[in-house]
Amino acid sequence: MRSRRVAVSEATERLREAGVASPEHDAAELLAHVLGTTRGQLALVEDVAASALDEYDALITRRSAREPLQHLTGTAYFRHVELAVGPGVFVPRPETELLAGWAIESAPQDGVVVDLCTGSGAIAKSLADERPDLAVHAVELDEPAYAWAERNLVGTGVDVRQGDFATAFDDLLGTVDVITCNPPYIPLEAWESVAPEARTYDPHLALFSGDDGLDAIRVLEQRAALLLRPGGALGFEHADVQGESAPAVLTAAGRWTDVRDHLDLAGRARFTTARLAR
């Protein structure tokens, strides 16, 4: 038996020493997970039983080794939806919620939306949750990631397929109103700068994209031009250092209007939007 305060304090210090970016949050989240409660309700707990402490210690050890928090809890939260995540799928980031929000606001009533490189299905599930009028389609190439997407999108009405985003949805050519995509965009040379959680546990197919990080975005530009109806909208995420180079891919193609880049809540370049010329 140990007090909840002491248990969390000791765990926080272990995570801080291991270089975890949010040690207090993660320590509390993992104890709440072990106790079957929420972080908000954790203050009501006075003491932690020895059996729970053993389980907690094991999870803190794994988190100290930089295994993602969401892999340990099996859950990620994205906008208003809950997602099952684990080994083999990219853990959705809060920054991507802004791209999803843009699509939710931009799609016309009863519109057709396609989410390319869907990963866990986070954007697609949010679209279906907040805009039930939409016909939402999603595709993922990587087999393990597709299995997670399929699981997360059960019962949502989303048409989820396994395949290459470069060739997917021939049946929708010229009919799509909005396309979203969180493609791989990290340059191969930036390997060492990637956080251990992502570098070790996220699928590399979801991370790296050629020498300059723009290879997938170039393919996306070409496929989106075929899928969208004239005037249809494209939105995709990119690295914070690609605030000029990512939009430039669309500008250079000469078939896009209203090319704009958008900042995230920390003021960093985060995603690009544009419309297919009429």
Backbone phi and psi for residue 21, each to the nearest 5 degrees, phi listed first: -70, -30
CB 8 within 8 A of CB 30: no
Q: Which of 23, 92, 183, 203 is catalytic?
A: 183
Give catalytic status of residue 90 as yes or no.
yes
Of the listed 68, 92, 182, 187, which one is catalytic? 182
Read off the amino acid at residue 273.
Answer: T
**Which residue is catalytic, options 23, 68, 90, 169?**
90
Give the separation between CA 82 and CA 168, rounded to whole angstroms. Answer: 26
> Which residue type occupies 33?
H
CA distance 145 to 152: 11
Helices (H), the chain: 4-17, 23-35, 50-64, 69-73, 96-106, 122-130, 143-152, 196-201, 215-227, 245-253
208 is catalytic: no
The catalytic residue positions are 90, 182-183
